[in-house]
Amino acid sequence: MEGTFLPICRKDMTERGIAQFDFVYIIGDAYVDHPSFGHAIISRLLEAHGYSVGIISQPDWKEKGSIAIYGEPRLAFLITAGNMDSMVNHYSVSKRPREKDSFTPGGAVGRRPDYATIVYGNLIRQTYKKTPILIGGVEASLRRLAHYDYWSNKVKRSILLDSGADILMYGMGERSILALAEALDSGIAVSDITFVPGTVYKTQKEADIYDALFLPGFTEVKEDKAAYARSFYQQYQNTDPFSGRRLAEGYPNKVYVVQNPPSEPLREMEMDDIYALPYMRDYHPSYEPQGGVPAIEEVRFSLTSSRGCFGGCSFCALTFHQGRIIQSRSHASIVEEAKLFTKQPGFKGYVHDVGGPTANFRFPSCGKQMKKGVCPNRQCLFPAPCENLKADHKDYLELLRKLRGIPGIKKVFIRSGIRFDYVLADKDRTFLRELCQYHISGQLKVAPEHISDKVLEKMGKPNAAVYRQFVREYEKMNEKLGKEQYLVPYLMSSHPGSTLQEAVELAEFLRDLGYMPQQVQDFYPTPSTISTCMYYTGLDPRTMEPVYVAHNPHEKAMQRALIQYREPRNYKLVKEALLKAGRTDLIGFGQQCLIPPREIAHKGKPHPKAKPNKKAKSAKKGRR
């Protein structure tokens, strides 16, 4: 493949005859020049507009000179912690260190610090006192205002203040970075760049903050959980580029953090241009001796067709980061990228995914959104599909058909997840038929998340009857096609609103389904989600009503064990949970029971498991 990677060391800089970079980009991930990596898009976009960029990947934060290898940039330092929040990258929900970092060469751990954006920013400030610092990426985006930090169990200040940066870019960043580059290049002082959408700045001049909604101050939200919940929901209602207001948050010493309204969504041609930039589509070759970068394998032969999500799940941060308005690429752009796959080494004819946050969302959910924005107080699919929702898979079907017809492509998978309630909202079942016929292989992963309507309401998910309807239609369609294919449901334990009673209800559902998940996701309170706000405050910010939250690690372990009640190692936890929930009727040898009265030795072998989603008569084979 023609082209070159961007410079990663002083030698590269010298060989290219660059005396001073316009931007020096500090990244917490390994350098992967692929459009699934935010740093690749931002750096290639700057390069395409005539700016030079030097990459410093995973600098040694204990060494002051690690960020000074190129000297001072002409315009600014850029910082991103990487494709993930550094704390999520480092720790499991139980706060135990992870054993692998897929965004680091060889999957090695320990190559970036905790709270990486803050550490990198302060490292730069030790040497370059006045050079502009611009921060962005997921970590900065989701911590742009006062936020609850699960790992320290504290409300933290805006990351803009703690990092020592001048400006924070939130969201996807393409419009913001070009506007900032142009302003800096024209000689405007960084302290005067207060007008760029999709950015956050700090000021001590309250009089200069115009047309803003003033949120409760940091001191108030830190001390009063109700104030935190109210502030969070005001932020949530102002994430739309067309209707969102400017927000201001006060701090001690008369400092204000000001969030400008979000950037407007990219148009189709702009998306196409971004994905047509000359990416090398691989990790830097210097990582080869270390085993490469594992994260590339998930996306190397996957196609991003859209951004944004109007699903509105409470536990998802997409509303705060990519927004609820869908942005899509053209068929021609996506097909052209797919054709590139057929020329790449290692391609075996399988496209691993065609999608985005939700694969079957290709356009805004209704016609008014690109002019008036999304509704601040209503969701498109929850609690039921809006009457203005356009549920139509025709465009996505046409795209998939084009991809299937490319010479050299054997099969096109859909793995990024579909919204089954959106499938049902479309009266035409052609998509469901072609999904089952062409785009899965044995099983389809879907995300009902829970089965209790009480919990689903807090999750912002459709009620259980909707999932059951989808299961029936999926099975019926596969029978019609003569295929034996199963559903694999993603399930979550300990979400706010879930008591042991609801956890038992979920276990009973799995009993009747004849399926036991191999993995269970315990609710993870990541920054800037409605669910995390509920977890911290015990209040639903949408209604300010109290919400039950399982904070005790032992109770969380019981809820998680109930989902895998057949595992011998979970017996004691399951029995304790059933006793506490008053469900002794589920302890015994009857068909409806979850566990026997006493623990039975199984010589280290797990209990028999039914195949995923077999019908009830087959599921009985998987019970005790």
Residues 6+ apart with CB under 8 A from 478: 436, 484, 485
DSSP element (H, E) containing 141: helix 137-142
Query: What domains lie within the chain, and their CATH numbers?
Result: 10-195 (3.40.50.280), 301-441 (3.30.750.210), 444-624 (3.30.750.200)
The string of pLDDT tens digits covering residues 31-77 is 999 999 999 999 999 999 999 999 999 999 999 999 999 999 999 99
Residues 6+ apart with CB under 8 A from 533: 148, 228, 229, 232, 233, 539, 541
Tokens of 582: 């008053």
The string of pLDDT tens digits covering residues 173-198 is 999 999 999 999 999 999 999 999 99
Residues 6+ apart with CB under 8 A from 540: 229, 458, 496, 530, 534, 546, 547
Looking up tokens 């009620």, which residue turns up? Answer: 463
**In which band, very low, low, confident or very high, does the pLDDT at 520 lie, cut at 50, 70 and 90?**
confident
CB atoms within 10 A of CB 8: 16
* E-strand stretches of 198-337: 199-203, 212-214, 246-251, 255-259, 282-283, 302-304, 306-307, 327-328
Arithmetic mean of pLDDT over the chain:
93
Tokens of 179: 């506007």
DSSP notation for 461-521: ---HHHHHHHHHHHHHHHHHHT---EEEEEEEES-TT--HHHHHHHHHHHHHHT---S--E
pTM of the predicted protein model: 0.93
**In which band, very low, low, confident or very high, does the pLDDT at 615 lie, cut at 50, 70 and 90?**
very low
**In which band, very low, low, confident or very high, does the pLDDT at 618 lie, cut at 50, 70 and 90?**
very low
What's the average model confidence in pLDDT over 601-618? 43
Measured at the CA of 35, the angle between CA 33 and CA 40, to 5 degrees, comes to 45
Residues 6+ apart with CB under 8 A from 375: 386
pLDDT tops 80 at residue 607: no
Maximum distance among all Cα pairs of the chain, rounded to whole angstroms: 78
**Percentage, residues of the chain above pLDDT 70:** 96
Which one, of 563, 440, 383, lies nearest residue 491 by Cα? 563
